[in-house]
Amino acid sequence: MKKPIAGGSGGAAGIAAALPHAGASRPGRMTRWLESERLLATLLLAPAILLLGLFIAYPFVIGVWLSMSNVSVGNPGEFVGIKNFVKAWNDSIFRTAFWNTGFYTFWATIFKLALGMWVALLLNRHFRGKRIVRAAMLLPFIVPTVLSTFAWRWMFDPTFSVLNWMLYQGGFITTKLPFLSDGTYGMWCAIVVNTWRGMPFFAITLLAGLQTISPDLHEAASLDGANGWHRFWHVTWPLLKPVTVVVVVFSIIQTFSDFQLIYVLTGGGPANATHLLATYAYQIGIATGLLGEGAAISLFMLPVLFIVVWLQLRYLRRLEGA
């Protein structure tokens, strides 16, 4: 932390010397205006707010309007109230998708948290090649999900599956497993791939959190006779909790709204058994062209996301207050 500041103050001195007239000459009208914090803040925030307003807030409003209309591609449509929501709720595929989304999010988040914590604790030790191992463990998170999911799809291939080959050679199975051709298996495969992809994010963020914990605390605890598990439970975990909450919330939101993994791995099949809300909304809204119904389906994500965000904001505020 010390180094950049030292360099910066050197730079500051250099700039002040290079621009002696900056203070000497009468400041222009523009610069005097910028002295007002309120005006400067408005100017600095304008680009961000403009883009976010235009491409998040405005589409959100349009989305709510679409969800209450029967707009489809090439048809301006009209207001139909909550008909789309009722229709979705009575649709068995929608219900499967809704249930799948919850199931997928629940299990994937639990696995990612547990394995990510384990990996973070392993990587927090000192060993040779630490940097290389760290960089390697991050790979699944960095590489485009679509591309790595294709690798998994190929590994799950019904005829040429390398996983089946390994399990068969290892004597675990006698006939091939229907990885993606069976709905239940397909869902678990998606959870495995999601865990594989998202675990590094948990690991690296928790590792960053672990590094802020002073090793003295652990030494003191072990002098008091605490074993590994006790040290984790009574020293590490309480200090890591705020970071964990943030990571879990991000992960829940991303997993709950996931699209690309299912789109590539199963396409929602077999027979719509692995659809998530996002993939089903895409199928209805874009592939079929029923924009209104598709928008209604994706809006079903909103209450869950809202609750998660609300809980997090409340938790953060309580931390700041404490």
Q: Rule CB under 8 A: which of 277-316 touch other proteins?
A: 277-278, 281-282, 285-286, 291, 294-295, 298-299, 301-302, 305, 308-309, 313
Cα 185–152–270 angle (5° rounding)? 40
b/e sequence 122-148, b meaning 16+ C-beta within 10 Å: ebbeeeeeeeeeeeebeebbeeebeeb
Residue with smaller CB distance to other proteins, 62 or 271 = 62
Question: Of 287, 123, 96, 288, which is closest to residue 205 (Cα–Cα)?
Answer: 123
- The tokens 């090649």 sit on which residue? 129
CB half-sphere exposure, 211, CA atoms < 13 A: 11
In angstroms, what is the minimal distance from the CB of 273 to other proteins? 19
In angstroms, what is the minimal distance from the CB of 190 to other proteins? 14
3-state secondary structure of 72: strand
Handedness of CA 30, 34, 38, 41 (dihedral sign): positive
In the set 26, 47, 128, 320, which binds other proteins (CB under 8 A)?
A: 47
Distances (CA, A) of 139 to 109, 196, 201: 19, 10, 10
Task: Map the footprint of other proteins across residues 153-212, applying CB under 8 A.
Answer: 154-155, 157, 159-162, 164-165, 168, 176, 196, 200, 204-205, 207-209, 211-212
Task: Map the footprint of other proteins across residues 72-101, applying CB under 8 A.
Answer: none
Number of C-beta neighbours around residue 6 at 10 A:
9
In angstroms, what is the minimal distance from the CB of 215 to other proteins? 8
In the set 90, 127, 229, 303, which binds other proteins (CB under 8 A)?
A: 127
In the set 26, 38, 128, 318, which binds other proteins (CB under 8 A)?
A: 38
| Binding characters for other proteins, 6-25, by CB under 8 A (x = yes) | -xxx-xx--xx--x--xxx-
Number of residues that bind other proteins (CB under 8 A): 119
Distances (CA, A) of 257 to 83, 176, 238, 251, 277: 23, 32, 29, 10, 7
1 interacts with other proteins by CB under 8 A = yes
In the set 82, 86, 136, 311, which binds other proteins (CB under 8 A)?
A: 136
